[in-house]
Chains A and B, each alone.
Chain A
């Protein structure tokens, strides 16, 4: 079984709809991240959480919110989806105990907003 899972893997929705993307991990890591990838723009950090009670905005948090329901779960919400939020979304985890900041990624969610 994959260590970092994301659901759904693909989602098509309409402008104005609320969408939630979910991420779960079995790695026991304390830190979790949400990224989006657009063609030619690399990975952009949306939100990150260093523990259950810690939530931080990343580079492009506008239009997004997150919830860290447990150490193993970190969900990303689009309150009112718009077409320019069409992208690949990745969840990642890391272990602060290693001191190396190595992040481990889920398989991604392809979101299309019509």
Chain B
């Protein structure tokens, strides 16, 4: 059973517009959430994260929003650039003492068109 769900396998956006990538989770014990970006033939790279005590975290063009009641988070990229074209993974970490490891979504492939 997929505890972290990225329901859109792909997304296409025009350069300069906003990209919104969504992620839903089922486990209320998750307390830390991360977004990773992955280019073909490279390893995933950490992009931005958010703790469950916050509802928003911003880093330059990237903002993550967390809605705990809906068990939903989203990544906003504004403005989108062609170099943002990649697969984006959402991941969550459960508040389970010291035995914490990331639970991953299946990814959303973003294409930013010039």
Contact = CB atoms under 8 A, between A and B. Distances in A.
Contacts of B42: 107-108
A101 B101 contact: yes
A43 B105 CA distance: 8
Given A40-B106, A41-B106, A42-B107, A100 B43 contact: no
Contacts, number: 48
A43 B89 contact: yes
A28 B46 CA distance: 17
Contacts of B99: 50
A101 B49 CA distance: 10
Given A43-B89, A90-B43, A107-B43, A101 B105 contact: no
A33 to B, nearest CB: 7
29 contacts: A40-B9, A40-B106, A41-B106, A42-B104, A42-B107, A43-B89, A43-B104, A45-B101, A48-B101, A50-B98, A50-B99, A90-B43, A90-B44, A96-B98, A100-B32, A100-B93, A101-B32, A101-B34, A101-B93, A101-B101, A101-B102, A102-B46, A104-B46, A105-B36, A105-B44, A105-B45, A107-B42, A107-B43, A108-B43
